[in-house]
Amino acid sequence: MKIRPPIQVVVIVALIVVAVLVGLLIKHLNGPRIVAEAVAPDGTEMCIVQRCNWSGEPFTTSFYYRKPGGPWGWFYFDHQDWYWGTGGVDLDPNQGVARIYRNGAVVVTFDWEKEEYTLLRLNRVQTGAQTWLPLGESPF
């Protein structure tokens, strides 16, 4: 003979599970999220950061970097972006270049010695940060 819990218990457990999942989703989306990061051999830090816009333009995605002891520099990636499920960075120390991947495809290259950012989908090359965060301020 099977013993079944009362329907109220099943409903309460289901509501708790849904509440926890919604809470985790909001926590995951609320605030900046690093989707790819690396540190070059010279200590240059770089990362792709995504923020939920909570609007019809789902996410703003940015590239940040900083030299040791310096401020964070910012480069544009997309202000109407979709969620990055996977991201990665491959460093080539011989060329001094980072390749940033999204879902297995290279989307950005960054020459950390020249501070040259190439946004491949727009074929846009920018040398030097587009803006700088105040020294000590973090993008995440």
Summarised one tens digit per residue, pLDDT across range 69-90 is 999 999 999 999 999 988 999 9
Output the pTM of the full model: 0.81
- Quote the CA–CA distance of 102 and 56 in Å, as a whole number: 22
- pLDDT given for residue 43 in this prediction: 98
Q: Are 48 and 61 in contact (CB under 8 A)?
A: yes
Tell me what the mean pLDDT of segment 39-44 comes to.
Answer: 98
Spatial separation of the C-alpha atoms in residues 51 and 30, rounded to whole Å: 8
Give the burial string for 83-119 (b: 16+ CB within 10 Å, else e).
ebeebbbebeeeebbbbbbbeeeebbbbbbeebebbb
Q: Which of 83, 64, 60 is nearest to 72 (CA)?
A: 64
Mean pLDDT of all residues belonging to the chain:
89
* Nearest alpha carbon to residue 52 among 32, 27, 74: 32
pLDDT at 9 over 60: yes
Task: Between 32 and 9, name the one with better pLDDT.
Answer: 32
- Confidence check: pLDDT of 23 > 60: no
Greater pLDDT, 38 or 11: 38
